[in-house]
A and B are shown apart, each in its own frame.
Chain A
Amino acid sequence: MKIPYFPGCSLKTIGEGFEKSAIASAAVLDIELNELPRWVCCGTVSSLTTDDLMHHLAPVRNLIRVQDLEETQLVTLCSVCYSTLKRSNTLVKNDPEKLKTMNQFMYRESDYQCNVKVLHFLELLREIGFDKIKEKIKKPLRGLTLSPYYGCLLVRPKEFGIDDPETPTILQALTKALGADVIDNPYQLKCCGSYHTVDKPNLVADLGYKILTYARNSGADALVLSCPLCAFNLDNRQREIKRQYPDFVEIPILYFTQLMALAFDLDEERLGFDIHYVDPVPLLKEKQLLIDSLPLIKEK
């Protein structure tokens, strides 16, 4: 299966390992993720006021690019891009007047016909079936205990979420299928502080402390998630958490696609662990999921 894929800026920078591991593990499942040509930044957060069409233009422009390829689906990895693209798509589908205005404004583009569906990669995996994924496993993640973390935009608001907004199970199902153990974390849906990482890093550290400490105290070896902004707040901001809470013990963060790539035994180059703040490599070696002989960490 070939499917257009929207990376967004984060997967080209802080989420490099997310992109590489996703493309490589998708290939194992016979999915070819083709980067959307001429994609533009979706604008990150979706506009929440009724009279602001301007900020829906960029998401819709990306959907027109999909339409121009004569494709009907667009896959994302970043939860933020997913939510923003999906919200704009839903808006124009339900409001022909607004769509008309936007089409007229983007007169150089073809008119958007609302035939594109926005999907998160996790939804695609669920469609394929976790049993099918199981068949491809070469190295089950035995001995690894994980705390799934959904955050906000993957599941809320519910019209735009990929799973139940209060009791989602999709990350649990995937990580279990890959052979790992899963713990329940009541903070799995709690916001990480999002964009406040710019103006209120202390608040983000407070929120991260609770999410991560609960995971650690419940026996999790790492947190598993699907969003580069959550990852920045919960991985890189551990430096600030440590400053604020001297008792804090670091814990690695992994993208679900990195877990898949590990279980499929793909080469480490594609995992991107070298740019994580808390290095997951010692943990993965201890669990014998990575082999010692391969030098993994590039010189900083």
Chain B
Amino acid sequence: MSKTLKLDSEDAKKFAAKIQERSGEPIDMCFQCGECSSACPVSPEMDLMPSTLVRFTQLGLKDELINAKTIWVCASCFHCVARCPKGIDVAKVAEALRQELLRKKLDYVEVRDLSMEERQEIPQIAIISNLRKFSR
């Protein structure tokens, strides 16, 4: 199955600009060194490596990005930005991408999905931070 990527379309450019602005990160500066991907402790769970997430954002590949598992796997641990020679914070890029869905009320985690046992056991610091990241 082949798929054509419309790299230079107006929509792609607009999406790239939007994520760059929302994340506040100099995404254009990324030169694909891969430091972020090698530093990321949860990359084995990701479908797009952190460096690929940044590359796809440069290219404005909206569908690929918002359907990626990666944006829900990122733990906001800031290992990537500690290593990036350009100071790009991939956690911010992932958050800007998640917000694309969350602002349309497409929650990834809902409280009602948690069992009674989980609700009793998991501390509020975990539940609040999780819902802040993964729900509207």
Contact of B23 among A9, A13, A50, A199 (CB under 8 A): A50
Question: Does B82 touch A at the CB level, under 8 Å?
Answer: yes
Binds A, one of B4-12, B30-38, B52-60, B72-80: B72-80
Contact B109 A193, beta carbon cutoff 8 Å? no
Question: Does A194 touch B at the CB level, under 8 Å?
Answer: yes
Q: Mark B92-136, 1 if CB is under 8 A from A, else 0.
A: 100110010000000011000010001001111111111011100
Which of A13, A51, A199 has its CB near the most chain B CB atoms (within 10 A)?
Answer: A199
Question: Does B45 touch A at the CB level, under 8 Å?
Answer: yes
Which of A10, A45, A52, A193 has its CB near the most chain B CB atoms (within 10 A)?
Answer: A45
Chain A residues contacting B91 (CB-CB under 8 Å) are 48
Question: Does B49 touch A at the CB level, under 8 Å?
Answer: no
Q: Number of contacting residues on B, CB 8 A?
A: 39
Question: Does B22 touch A at the CB level, under 8 Å?
Answer: yes
Contact B22 A49, beta carbon cutoff 8 Å? yes
Contact B128 A229, beta carbon cutoff 8 Å? no
Chain A residues contacting B66 (CB-CB under 8 Å) are none
Q: Mark A251-272, 1 if CB is under 8 A from B, else 0.
A: 0000000000000000000000
Question: In the complex, which residues 28-79 of chain A have their Cβ closer than 8 Å to any Cβ of chain B?
Answer: 41, 43-45, 47-52, 55, 78
Question: Does A119 touch B at the CB level, under 8 Å?
Answer: no
Q: How extensive is the interface on chain A, given as a class? A: 35 or more
Question: Does A198 touch B at the CB level, under 8 Å?
Answer: yes
Question: Does B48 touch A at the CB level, under 8 Å?
Answer: no
CA distance A203 to B74 in the complex (A): 12
Contact A229 B23, beta carbon cutoff 8 Å? no
Which of B42, B78, B92 has its CB near the most chain A CB atoms (within 10 A)?
Answer: B78
Contact of B75 among A13, A14, A195 (CB under 8 A): A195
Contact A191 B75, beta carbon cutoff 8 Å? yes
Q: Mark A5-22, 1 if CB is under 8 A from B, else 0.
A: 000111001100000000
**Known: A48-B76, A50-B22. Contact between A165 and B41, CB under 8 A?**
no
Chain B residues contacting A47 (CB-CB under 8 Å) are 95
Contact A45 B122, beta carbon cutoff 8 Å? no
Contact A10 B130, beta carbon cutoff 8 Å? no
Contact of B41 among A10, A49, A191, A199 (CB under 8 A): A191
Binds B, one of A130-138, A140-148, A150-158, A284-292: A150-158
Question: Does A166 touch B at the CB level, under 8 Å?
Answer: yes
Question: Does A207 touch B at the CB level, under 8 Å?
Answer: yes
Question: Does A4 touch B at the CB level, under 8 Å?
Answer: no
Contact B23 A48, beta carbon cutoff 8 Å? yes
Other A-B contacts than A48-B76, A198-B127, 16 sampled, CB-CB below 8 A, are A14-B125, A44-B125, A51-B22, A52-B99, A78-B125, A157-B89, A165-B82, A166-B82, A191-B42, A194-B77, A195-B75, A196-B75, A196-B130, A203-B45, A229-B129, A232-B126
* Chain A residues within CB distance 8 Å of chain B: 8-10, 13-14, 41, 43-45, 47-52, 55, 78, 80, 152-153, 156-158, 165-166, 189-191, 193-200, 203, 207, 228-229, 232, 236
